[in-house]
Structure 1
Amino acid sequence: MLRAIKASFYRGGTSKGLFFRASDLAPFPQSMRNEILLSAMGSPDPDGRQIDGMGGGISSLSKAVVLSTPGEAVSEMSRGPEYSFPDGVDWVDDVSRASSERSGWDVVYRFAQVGVRDFVVDWSSTCGNLVAAVAQYAVDEGLVQKRIEASIQGQTPPERFPFATRILAADSGKIIHATTVVCTPGSLESGRLRWYVSNFGGASISGVPSTSSPVEIENPLQGNMLPTGRVLDAIPMEGKSIPCTIVDAGLPSIFIPSSAVFSVPEWFLSHPADLDADPRFRARAEELRYAASRLSPALSSIFSTSTPKICVIGSPASYRTTSGEELRSNQMDCVIRAVSVGNFHRTVPATMVSALAVASVLPGSVVWDACQASVLPQEKNMSLRSITVGQPAGLSKATVALDIHGQPKSINYVRTARRLFQGEVLVKA
C-alpha cells in the first residue's frame, strides 16, 4: 500500500531535491518524517542507485527541503517533543520577529541530506545550491505574494522585475537574500494577480547544460568563520603535519593541499568517477576529514556523514572538464576537488565556494597559498574580491564583500533553478 504526500521536485544549482511544506509533514512524528523521506528517495539502496525512488545515487541528488512561513503548523508540531523538527535555532517561528522589515524573514528553510546506501537522514547541515530553488518555490507557492504586492504598490505591475526573498536557514539562523526575476501571466487568480519566477534568461552555471534566469544570492557572514580560531592548522598524521584551513561560511569546509591525498600530482585532475572508483582516495579524504574535525570541539560535536565537508585544492592547472572542454590555467585562481558524503563531486557545493572565497582573502591560508596571491581586487569597488575556481564540470565564481576593516562580511554568487514536477510523491504507508 502506498500513501500520497504533496511535494515538488526542484533543481537548484547543481543539486536536486524533494520539497515539502511543513504543514504537510507536521502531522507525523519526526521519526516517521525520516522514513517518509527515505522511502520517497529510494533509500537505503545497497547498490547506490536509489532505483526505487526519486534520488539520483549521489549526495547532491539525494536531498529534501521542508519550507514554511513563520508560525506555520506550530500548533501541530507542539503536540509533543516527538513532533518537533530537528534542533536548529529556537526562534524560527517567532512571527513578530519575522515580520520586521529590517531583520525579518519570509520563509523558514529546513534541509535534510538523505543517505543513499544508508538508513540516515541528516538535518544538521544546509545546501547553498538549493537556496536558489527555495526562492523560486516561495514565489511559485504564493508564500511571498503579499510582499511582492507591497514592493510594487501604487505602480503599474511591470512584466518582469527583481524580487528578493528573505530565507531563514533553520540550522544556523542566517537570513539569506535570494533575488529572482518575477513575472506575472497578466491574468487574475481569485481576483488577484499570481506571480511566478521566470525560467528564461542567459545565466549559465557549470554542471547544468541549459541557461535560465539568474538567481542572485547574498549570504551574510556572521560570527566566527574560523572554527579553530586559526587561519592555518596542522593535522597530525603518520608522523607528519598536514596543513589545513577550516572555514565556516554556512557549512564548515576543510581545505587541504592536493599532495595530502594524491602522491602523483596528475591523479588530482582525474575525472571524479575515476577518483570514486579508487578506494584509496576516498578513504584518505575521509581519514583527513575525521582527523581535521578533531581540531575543534565545535566541529567534533557536529561531525556526521555530511558535516564538515572536505575540499582538496591545488594551484591553477590546465585540464579537461567532464564535458570535454579544455580549460587553461590562466582562466582560474585554483583547482579543487570537493568531497561530500564519500564522493568526489562533479561540481563545487555553493557553501564550499563561499568558504573558498572567504579563505582566499586570508593571508597564510591553504587557499591563499594555492591561489598564489592571485585573488586581488578585480572590481572597481575595492571592497569586492572574486575567486574563480576550476572544478570537474568547469568554472565557478563567488565574490566576497569586505567591510571597512577588510574583513569578509558577505558572499555573493549566482545560481539557476527549475521546478521539475509538482504534485504528490508516493511513499510506503
Structure 2
Amino acid sequence: MAYAPQIKVPATYIRGGTSKGVFFKLDDMPEAAQVPGLARDALLMRVIGSPDPYGKQIDGMGGATSSTSKTVIVSKSSRPDHDLDYLFGQVSIDKAFVDWSGNCGNLSAAVGPFGIASGLVDSSRVPENGIATVRIWQANINKTIIAHVPMTNGQVQETGDFELDGVTFPAAEIQLEFMDPAAEEEGVGGAMFPTGNLVDDLEVPGVGTFKATMINAGIPTIFLNAEEIGYKGTELQDDINNDTKALAMFETIRAHGAVRMGLIHHIEEAAKRQHTPKVAFVAKPIDYVSSSGKAVKAADIDLLVRALSMGKLHHAMMGTAAVAIGTAAAIPGTLVNLAAGGGKLDAVRFGHPSGTLRVGAQAEQVDGDWQVKKAIMSRSARVLMEGWVRIPGDIATFA
C-alpha cells in the first residue's frame, strides 16, 4: 500500500508571555488552509498532535497543556491604520476541534515581533533602533492591540532583563495596549457586562448559587469569590488539577455562566467552546509561596487571582484574563475591585500561581455605562525554532 509523503509548511515556534505556539504566515499555508474551514482546522490539529486520547500530543508540536496547544496565523493587514491581522486558534488536546472564539493575550506579545521579522510590517514603520509601534487587528474578537517592540540594529530585540513570573529566563520587555477591550460577542451586543450587572447571583444546579462578576473584556470571564467555593486564592496547580471533583465543579459553573452571558444557548454547547469563557476566583491578599518557591507577600500585591483555562488551573495567568482582571478592577463594585480593596483603581498587581503581574486599565462611566478605553500590560517573546513543520500528506482535506 502506497502512503503519501509528508508535506512541510513554513512555521515558527515562539514563546509569547507564558504560552508557546506555532506561528504561520497566511500566505505560506497550503491554499486550502488559507481560508477558514475544515482544511485549516485539520492542518492545525495535525501540526499540534490532536486529537490525542492519551492527552500527551506526542506526535505533534503541542505540549499537552492549554498554554502550549496553540496556533497563530498572521498576515499583512488590509485594514486602515493597522499593520497586521492576527488570528488565534486554541487546539483542543483530546477532541477534534479548534476553538476560534477568543484571543490569546500571551501570544499577542509575539505577533508584532513575528510580523516584523517576517517582513509583514512596512519597513518605514520599523526603526533601526528604538521602539517599533505595531498596530495589530485581532481577528477573533475584532479588536486592536498596539505592541511596542524593541529594535536593535534593525533586528527585533529578544534578549533583556525583563522578568515575567511563570517564565524561567528574562527577556526584552514588550508593552501591549489592548484598545477598547470590551468584547463584541454575538448574542451579547458587545456589552462589557452582558447581564447588565456588576455582580450577579449565578445559580448552578447541583453545585450552588454564587456571587459572580461576568465580564467581556480581553476575554469573556466569570469571576467568583474564592471563599464561596471553598478556596483561599493561594492554590497552586496540583491543588486543583489533581481534584477531579473540583474540575467538574468549575466546568459546570463555566457552562452555566456561559449561558447567562449569552455566549451559548444550552450548557451542552460548552463542550465545543472550551477556550471561552474563562473561570477565575479572587481573594484579598495573603502571603503564599509560588510554584517556583518564591515568597509572595500580601503587602506586595492588591489581590489574589487563580484562573482556569481549557479545564485546568493555569500555571500563571492568561494574558487575556489579565486584561479582564485589570478592567474589572478599574470598575468600582465588581468582585475583582472589591477583593483589591475597592474604590478607583487604575492598576493592580495580583498574585497568581507563578508569582505576580501588574495590569492597568482606564475606565470611565458614560451615560451610566462603563467603558474602558485600553488595558496595558507587559510581556516578552522569544523565537524558539524556525523553519518548517511537517505533517503527513494523507490528511483527507489535502488528498
Interval containing the TM-score (normalised by the shorter chain):
0.7 to 0.9
Q: CA separation in 1, counterparts of 2:225 and 2:304? A: 10
Q: 1:252·1:309 contact (CA, 8 Å) conserved in 2?
A: yes
Q: CA separation in 2, counterparts of 1:26 and 1:54? A: 18
Q: CA separation in 1, counterparts of 2:244 and 2:110? A: 34
TM-score (norm 2): 0.88
Note the alpha carbon deviations across 1:351-376, whole angstroms, 9 max, x for none. Answer: 11111111112222111222232x65
State the partner residue of 1:347.
Answer: 316
State the partner residue of 1:411.
Answer: 375
Which residues of 2 match residues 221-370 of structure 1 at below 5 A? 221=180, 222=182, 223-237=190-204, 238=206, 240-262=208-230, 265=231, 268-298=233-263, 300=265, 303=270, 304-370=273-339
Question: Residues 45 and 404 (structure 1 numbering): CA distance in 2 closer, same or farther, change over 3 Å?
Answer: closer
Q: CA deviation at 1:412?
A: 0.5
Q: 1:16·1:60 contact (CA, 8 Å) conserved in 2?
A: yes
In the alignment, structure 2 segments of 5+ residues that lack a partner are: 183-189, 394-399
Q: CA separation in 1, counterparts of 2:208 and 2:49? A: 42
Note the alpha carbon deviations across 1:207-227, whole angstroms, 9 max, x for none. Answer: 011111111101112553112
Q: CA deviation at 1:319?
A: 0.9
Secondary structure in 1 matching 2:113: helix
State the partner residue of 2:163.
Answer: 204
State the partner residue of 2:88.
Answer: 111
Q: CA separation in 2, counterparts of 1:20 and 1:37? A: 10
Secondary structure in 2 matching 1:269: coil
TM-score (norm 1): 0.82
Note the alpha carbon deviations across 1:287-344, whole angstroms, 9 max, x for none. Answer: 1111111213245488511111111111111111000111111111111111011010
Match of 2:120 among 143, 147, 153: 143
Secondary structure in 1 matching 2:67: helix
Question: Residues 261 and 31 (structure 1 numbering): CA distance in 2 closer, same or farther, change over 3 Å?
Answer: same
Q: 2:9·2:30 contact (CA, 8 Å) conserved in 1?
A: no
Which residues of 2 match residues 64-79 of structure 1 at below 5 A? 64-70=71-77
Secondary structure in 2 matching 1:28: helix
Question: Residues 277 and 260 (structure 1 numbering): CA distance in 2 closer, same or farther, change over 3 Å?
Answer: same
Q: CA deviation at 1:235?
A: 0.9
Q: CA separation in 2, counterparts of 1:313 and 1:65? A: 30
Q: CA separation in 2, counterparts of 1:44 and 1:260? A: 35
In the alignment, structure 1 segments of 5+ residues that lack a partner are: 71-94, 185-194, 378-384
Which residues of 2 match residues 94-173 of structure 1 at below 5 A? 95=78, 98=79, 100=80, 104-148=81-125, 157=128, 160-173=129-142
Q: CA separation in 2, counterparts of 1:354 and 1:239? A: 28
Matching of residue 41 in structure 1 with residue 8 in structure 2: no
Q: CA separation in 2, counterparts of 1:274 and 1:367? A: 22
Q: CA separation in 2, counterparts of 1:415 and 1:49? A: 27
Larger radius of gyration: 1
Question: Residues 337 and 404 (structure 1 numbering): CA distance in 2 closer, same or farther, change over 3 Å?
Answer: closer
RMSD: 2.0
Question: Residues 287 and 349 (structure 1 numbering): CA distance in 2 closer, same or farther, change over 3 Å?
Answer: same
In the alignment, residue 209 of structure 1 is paired with which amino acid? T
Question: Residues 5 and 56 (structure 1 numbering): CA distance in 2 closer, same or farther, change over 3 Å?
Answer: same
